[in-house]
Structure formats: C-alpha cells, structure tokens
Amino acid sequence: MTVVGPVTEVVRAGGEHIPDLLDRVESRLAQVAGGHGATLAEHASATIAAGGKRLRPLLVFLAADGADGDGLVRAGTAVELVHSATLVHDDVLDGASLRRGMPTVVATGGRPAATATGDLLFARAFAELARNGRADQVRVLSDASSALAAGELLQRADAWNASVAMARYLRRCELKTARLFEAACRLGALEAGAEPEALGEFGRRIGLAFQLLDDVLDVSGPAARTGKHRGTDLLDGTVTLPFILAREHDPELAALDPRTIDSAAAAERVCDRIEATGALARARARALGMVEDAKGALPAGLSARQRHALELVADGVVARYA
Ligand code: IPE
Ligand code: IPE
Ligand code: MG
Ligand code: MG
C-alpha cells in the first residue's frame, strides 16, 4: 500500500511493524470484499480498491502499541469495513456522486445496489471481528455502528435547517464520526491488553476534530484534492460549522434558505462566500483546539514512541487536504 504525506511520518513513528500490519489489512479487505457474489463483489471491491487513508486501522494499531497479532489485523479490518459500509450508505443519503476520486456505488449501481453493498460490508465487518472471540470487542464496534446510524438520522432530521444549534451540530459529528474513531482506539487497547477508556477518549476527540475538518474541506475543495465534489453538504441540506460561523458575519448568508442552493454552480458561489467571511479559518482553529485537548488527554504511562505517534496522528487530522 502506498502511503503519502504526514501518514508516512506517523507510520514511521509507530514502529517497523505498522506497514506490515497495514498490508495485512489491505489483503484481508480485498479478500472479504471480493467473496460474496459477482454484483456485490464488484461494488464492494471497487469501494475498497478506491483506497482511502486507512486512518482507522492505523489508529487501532497505534493504540495497541507494539502488538502485531492476527487479532489486531482482524480488528483493523473490521473497523475499516464498518467505515466503508457507512460511506456507501452515506453517499445514498447525501446524494453524493464522487468518493475517493471515483463515482460512488449509488451513482454507478443505483440505490438498491448501494444499500446491499453497504449491508454486506457491515455484515462482513462483524463476522471478521467475531473471529477474535471477544464479546467486549464486538460490543465496542456495535456501539459505534449504532451511533453512526443515529448520527446519520440526526443529520437528516436537521437537514435544511440553517439555524441549527451548534450543540446539535457537534452532537451529530460525535455520533457519525467520533464514535468510530473512539472504537478504533478502544479495540487496539483491548487487543493489547491495555485499559481502553483513556485512549478511547483521545480517539473520540480527534474524531470530532476530523469531522470539523471534513466539513471545512467540503467548502474549500478542490475536488482534485479531496476526491469529493465541493459543496456537496450545501446541496443536500447539511448545515455544517463553516456555514454556521459564516452566517454570523454575512447578513446575506444569514438570510439564505439552503433550499435555494439548487445547482453545483450555486453551491460553488455559496462556498466562495462562506470562505470570504473567514469562517474556514475559524472552523480550523476550533478543530485545532480539539486536537490540542485530545493530546492533553493522552494518559500518562504511554511509551515515548506511542505518545509521539499518537500526537502525530492527532496533528494530521487537522493538517490534511483529503
Ligand atoms: C470520510 O472519512 C468520512 C468522514 C468521517 C468525514 P475519511 O476521510 O477517513 O475517508 P477515506 O477512508 O480516507 O476515504
Ligand atoms: C461523515 O460525514 C459520514 C460518515 C460518517 C459516513 P460526511 O457526509 O461529511 O462524509 P463525506 O464528506 O461524505 O465523506
Ligand atoms: Mg457524505
Ligand atoms: Mg463531508
């Protein structure tokens, strides 16, 4: 697997066993996605093969500081499968046509195929993790998956509401994104026989920052860098931090009904307007603050190597372009 940019640094800091663990996850993902009938295999394999940062398996491994058994590979694979499943379903809900620089499953195969592909990936995730024979691990992943579903529902419930409260926005980010980051860290800790609470809290905090940054990238683009179309959130009525902050500084944005944003060109214009208020820098600053809090919450007693690698990954969450 090719890893570029800051991720390379994290992999190096995490230890020599990390690239091997990531390679083993990659092989397992390809096997799992390819093995369930031609149509599903085509869509599931395309989703996996399109790549992605593999950030969640990396977190599993860093949280497990030094462990490198098959159980860890299964945990990393399971988390990435849940993540991929939610992306396939998320693109149905968000009406998104581009993902990881490729057409989405819903764009190429339609809604039924995307629904079934996501379901398959979810099912395989739990089958994979169950092989570890640890009810506590299955519970961690299942709690995160339930939170994800609740987060997506909250997002739909708040769709088109330009004056959504900040607390509700943050709750949505927590449910749909932060909980899976938390689960990744908990699984790594459990597999290594370590205490999962504190590392889980670290994961939750960087997960929150990660979603804030994702929402910034949706407005800033460009698609060539993010692998997703600019303004997708505005077009499907998802009101996020940049828009919430920009409305405080631009009366025209404050008066804008998101339902009137009805084309990619209109979304681009609103993105430019949001950017002009300085809201992206303010949103980034908030995410940075969360990352600093997360680093501060790292437990005492970690090895110097583990602390350094986790700090690097936390920094990478806000210093990214995809
Ligand atoms: C995208 O996650 C979904 C969010 C939680 C914002 P990633 O940005 O980690 O997606 P990939 O796996 O790298 O494509
Ligand atoms: C994260 O939210 C979605 C999931 C947790 C599945 P987004 O809807 O912002 O993610 P992207 O931008 O489509 O990757
Ligand atoms: Mg989406
Ligand atoms: Mg997004």
Whether 84 lines ligand 1, by a CB cut-off of 6 Å, is no
Q: For 113-151, give the DSSP string.
A: HHHHHHHHHHHHHHHHHHTT--HHHHHHHHHHHHHHHHH
What is the number of the ligand 2 atom nearest to the C-alpha of 240? 9
Distance from C-alpha of 187 to C-alpha of 146, rounded to nearest angstrom: 16
295 Cα–ligand 3 center, Å: 27
Q: Flag whether pLDDT at 293 surpasses 70.
A: yes
CB of 137 within 6 A of ligand 1: the answer is: no
Closest CA relative to residue 284, chosen from 297, 294, 275: 275
Indicate the residue type of 35.
G
Q: For the segment 165-177, what is each residue's pLDDT rounded down to a tens digit? A: 999 999 999 999 9
* Cβ neighbours, 10 Å, residue 285: 11
pLDDT of 1 strictly over 60: no
Is residue 3's pLDDT more than 80?
A: no
**Nearest bound ligand to CA 151?**
2
Q: What is the pLDDT of residues 196-234, one digit of tens each?
A: 999 999 999 999 999 999 999 999 999 999 999 999 999
- What type of residue sits at position 120? L
Alpha carbons 203 and 249: distance in angstroms, whole number: 32
Instruction: Using a pLDDT cut of 70, give the percent of the chain over it.
Output: 98
Q: Compute the distance between CA of residue 150 and CA of residue 18 in angstroms, rounded to an integer.
A: 33
5 pLDDT band (50/70/90 cuts)?
Answer: low
Please, what's the b/e burial string for 61-88 (b: 16 or more CB within 10 A of its CB; e: otherwise)? bbbbbebbeebbbbbbbbbbbbbbbbbb
Q: What is the mean pLDDT of residues 172-192?
A: 98
Paired tokens of 174? 């927590």
Calculate mean pLDDT across residues 255-265: 96
